[in-house]
Amino acid sequence: MVRAKIDGIYVFTLNLVVHPDYRHRGIGRRLFELVEEQALGVDGVFAIIGHAASTHIDFYATSGLRPVSRLTVISNRVNV
């Protein structure tokens, strides 16, 4: 499940969760790609992480995002 808010300028990925029985199969990465595909032309893609767990940051890092604050990561692909 992924929930994102697109306001025309930015995309905020708020929740991205894969059922524990289906993790490590590329589903999480694909869900984030679907968000990015909806984000053509925006100025930035952010993901709000629930808490500052390094695993969350590591997961988003595999999709090219980097931390910009304790609870936020941003895609390097501006205007994806």
Q: How many CB atoms lie within 10 A of CB 67?
A: 16
71 touches 52 (CB < 8 A): yes
Of 23-62, binders to ligand COA (CB under 6 A) are 23-29, 49-50, 55-56, 58-59, 62
Binds ligand COA by CB under 6 A, chosen from 4, 11, 18, 74: 18
Dmax (CA) for the chain in angstroms is 35
Tell me if 21 contacts ligand COA by CB under 6 A.
no
Q: 19 by DSSP, 3-state: which?
A: coil
Using CB under 6 A as the criterion, which residues of the chain lie in contact with ligand COA when the complex forms?
A: 15-18, 23-29, 49-50, 55-56, 58-59, 62
